[in-house]
A and B are shown apart, each in its own frame.
Chain A
């Protein structure tokens, strides 16, 4: 394993951004989000979770992929790509797990070309969490705050330095390219990091246990709960906004739209949200999810029942974003708890 002393981080940012677009957690007006790094940005590696997860990097909120133009009465269509190599530095282990869940959707056959290209072009560096907060419950999904198996490089914040471990070929390659800034980590330093990781995991698991957030059986329970009254108690307070879905690292519904002006335009895809009134609104005016009740049910069923049926894993990584940000506290942790409390089949 390697390490990098924190004093050298500015040089690291410079070096990395000279070879690729470098996404870092950048603070602006008190809000930390991933953004392409520019000289003078205030990088915040301490903030636990960015408001918007780095899914925005692999699956942008808005992505134009085609341009068209009418010239001499003829329509010209051409693909449009804005990609290039990038480095995503500072994703938390839950964020990386979120990307792994998106992979299962977008990289299954037939592969999503836009997504797979972005995934191929990027190197993901994850920073371990030393201090999960009250809203975090990643351990409930068998994730570790101190380890992101899906990251190309894993780093641990050890105070004055970051311990650095390449975990993939891409990770090795990037490590090689910044070798000048890294040092070999001593045996004790590696041991200290692994101990810290174990400590944090144990503490976090105990905290989640205490909150009663145990999703393990929920995917089965929910299969019989489509018509349950339990949705009644949740949906009324929902504002039907897009916060929970847009800030969730696993939500991946999208829409395809065009824009045009005069004789030219483009086609883009953009995030959609099951919480919006026009979600699944058909051309005929029919909507299978006409009210907030069906929409709220969809949000939780998708994450806790349908996705697990399709891919074997829950589509929640316990990042706690919806717990922190839903203006009316309709978060998945509470739903898991309430749903778990209702026995299979009873309504």
Chain B
């Protein structure tokens, strides 16, 4: 992975100094082992900051979403995209919130990223200095030495079920294609489907009762790209500010419905949620239903493809009225 980081630094420095782009979005390393966060490098030469770009097992934040804010201010923006980021980018394109010609995409084949919570629950977090990826293994570095483990045991659930680790859209691919070996992604949805309506209601009521209404799930989502969100409008205030279960359910239902058919299953909403609400289960229920009703559809794979929920067909398989 070191190698890839070096390629990223060079490529960023080049495109900035040649004036091809006026902003590069990548990742930078923070002081703690799990911290790899979005980095914004601008100006020609990138003010010498391109050297701080990094690629490691924690470069999880989706960079495509930042185009919503950055693109209007810039001539051209380069960003690094993993498989899920590329799907998000295509969705933003399809929703007409970005112009393809204003963006340069450097594709990163992704072998899965490490969930810090899994490291902590395995008791490996104490005194940890660094986590390195070595093929199928992770190397945990401590003052006292190193410890190795199978990488798969520590990857985000969303990475274990990822079907597009290789970017579906890019201008230049940096590296060899990553293996595609997704685990079944609808297992937990099937569990939910087995519940009766009351059980399901109780399940979600319990989950949503923890919601602190921070809106991180919305703000991290590449499909939540409305210029003004209904939940932010102060007048009329559609969503009350009281943290009441009914208000939260209203928020969550609207959020899930609004991304239905556009959710690229990147799992960012679930990752950022501070109270472990399994939002991806809800999104995947929609995905599964869409697949069953309208045929297989993966949002974000092809921005030209007709999106099932917004395409009118006379032979629509769903009835317009209850019969």
Partner-B contacts on A (CB < 8 A): 28-31, 33, 51-52, 61-62, 64, 131, 133-135, 211-212, 233, 236-237, 239-243, 246-247, 255, 257, 259, 268, 270-273, 276-278, 281, 292, 323, 325, 327-330, 333-334, 337
In this complex, the member of B210, B214, B244 whose beta carbon has the largest number of chain A beta carbons within 10 angstroms is B214
Whether the Cβ atoms of A239 and B220 lie closer than 8 Å is: yes
Whether the Cβ atoms of B216 and A243 lie closer than 8 Å is: yes
Chain B, residues 19-45, CB within 8 Å of chain A (1/0): the string is 000000000001111011111100000
B61 within 8 A of A: yes
Nearest 4 A/B pairs, CB to CB: A242-B214, A241-B216, A327-B272, A329-B37
Known: A257-B241, A323-B32. A237 touches B37 (CB 8 A): yes
Chain B contacts of A28 at CB under 8 A?
206, 210
Whether the Cβ atoms of B242 and A242 lie closer than 8 Å is: no
Chain A contacts of B66 at CB under 8 A?
236-237
- From B125, B216, B234, contact of A242 by CB (8 A): B216
> Can you give 5 contacting A-B residue pairs, CB < 8 Å?
A239-B272, A242-B213, A243-B214, A292-B69, A329-B37
Known: A28-B210, A327-B220. A281 touches B234 (CB 8 A): yes
Whether the Cβ atoms of B276 and A133 lie closer than 8 Å is: no
C-alpha gap A323/B35 in the complex (Å):
9
Whether the Cβ atoms of B240 and A259 lie closer than 8 Å is: yes
Whether the Cβ atoms of A242 and B220 lie closer than 8 Å is: no
B147 within 8 A of A: no
Known: A242-B215, A259-B240. A31 touches B70 (CB 8 A): no
Known: A133-B126, A240-B219. A246 touches B212 (CB 8 A): yes
Chain B contacts of A278 at CB under 8 A?
232, 234
- From B39, B212, B220, contact of A247 by CB (8 A): B212
B284 within 8 A of A: no
Taking the closest CB of chain A, its distance from the CB of B12, in whole angstroms, is: 15
Segment 201-245 of B: residues with Cβ below 8 Å from A: 206-207, 210, 212-216, 219-220, 232, 234, 237, 240-244
B271 within 8 A of A: yes
C-alpha gap A212/B276 in the complex (Å):
31
Chain B contacts of A246 at CB under 8 A?
212-214
Whether the Cβ atoms of A276 and B30 lie closer than 8 Å is: no
Partner-A contacts on B (CB < 8 A): 30-33, 35-40, 61, 66, 69-70, 125-126, 128, 206-207, 210, 212-216, 219-220, 232, 234, 237, 240-244, 271-272, 274-276
Supply 13 further A-B pairs (C-beta < 8 A) apart from A237-B39, A277-B232, A329-B37. Answer: A29-B276, A52-B212, A236-B70, A237-B40, A241-B215, A242-B215, A243-B212, A257-B242, A276-B215, A323-B32, A327-B61, A329-B35, A330-B37
Taking the closest CB of chain A, its distance from the CB of B43, in whole angstroms, is: 11
Taking the closest CB of chain A, its distance from the CB of B76, in whole angstroms, is: 17
Whether the Cβ atoms of B234 and A135 lie closer than 8 Å is: no
C-alpha gap A2/B275 in the complex (Å):
36
Chain B contacts of A135 at CB under 8 A?
32
Whether the Cβ atoms of A31 and B275 lie closer than 8 Å is: yes
Chain A contacts of B37 at CB under 8 A?
237, 328-330
C-alpha gap A277/B234 in the complex (Å):
10
Taking the closest CB of chain A, its distance from the CB of B135, in whole angstroms, is: 27
Chain B contacts of A277 at CB under 8 A?
232
C-alpha gap A167/B70 in the complex (Å):
54
C-alpha gap A271/B215 in the complex (Å):
14
Chain B contacts of A259 at CB under 8 A?
240, 242
- Measured CB to CB, the nearest residue on chain B to A56 is B212
Whether the Cβ atoms of A134 and B240 lie closer than 8 Å is: no
Chain B contacts of A281 at CB under 8 A?
234
- Measured CB to CB, the nearest residue on chain B to A268 is B242
Chain A contacts of B39 at CB under 8 A?
237
Chain A contacts of B237 at CB under 8 A?
257
C-alpha gap A10/B70 in the complex (Å):
55
- Measured CB to CB, the nearest residue on chain B to A259 is B240
- Measured CB to CB, the nearest residue on chain A to B229 is A277
Chain A contacts of B214 at CB under 8 A?
241-243, 246, 273
C-alpha gap A278/B239 in the complex (Å):
13
Whether the Cβ atoms of A243 and B274 lie closer than 8 Å is: yes
C-alpha gap A268/B240 in the complex (Å):
11
Chain A contacts of B212 at CB under 8 A?
52, 61, 242-243, 246-247
- Measured CB to CB, the nearest residue on chain B to A271 is B243
- Measured CB to CB, the nearest residue on chain A to B212 is A246
C-alpha gap A334/B220 in the complex (Å):
21
Chain A contacts of B216 at CB under 8 A?
239, 241-243, 327
Chain B contacts of A64 at CB under 8 A?
242
Chain B contacts of A134 at CB under 8 A?
32-33, 125, 128
- Measured CB to CB, the nearest residue on chain B to A277 is B232
Whether the Cβ atoms of B232 and A329 lie closer than 8 Å is: no
Chain A contacts of B244 at CB under 8 A?
62
Known: A133-B126, A281-B234. A33 touches B32 (CB 8 A): no
C-alpha gap A246/B210 in the complex (Å):
13
Whether the Cβ atoms of B210 and A31 lie closer than 8 Å is: yes
Chain A contacts of B210 at CB under 8 A?
28-29, 31, 33
Chain B contacts of A268 at CB under 8 A?
242
Whether the Cβ atoms of A328 and B38 lie closer than 8 Å is: yes
Taking the closest CB of chain A, its distance from the CB of B205, in whole angstroms, is: 12
Chain A contacts of B61 at CB under 8 A?
237, 327-328
Whether the Cβ atoms of B243 and A334 lie closer than 8 Å is: no
Chain A contacts of B206 at CB under 8 A?
28-29
Chain A contacts of B70 at CB under 8 A?
236
Chain B contacts of A133 at CB under 8 A?
125-126
In this complex, the member of A30, A51, A241 whose beta carbon has the largest number of chain B beta carbons within 10 angstroms is A241
C-alpha gap A240/B38 in the complex (Å):
14
- From B220, B241, B274, B276, contact of A255 by CB (8 A): B241
- From A52, A241, A329, contact of B219 by CB (8 A): A241
Chain B contacts of A334 at CB under 8 A?
30-31
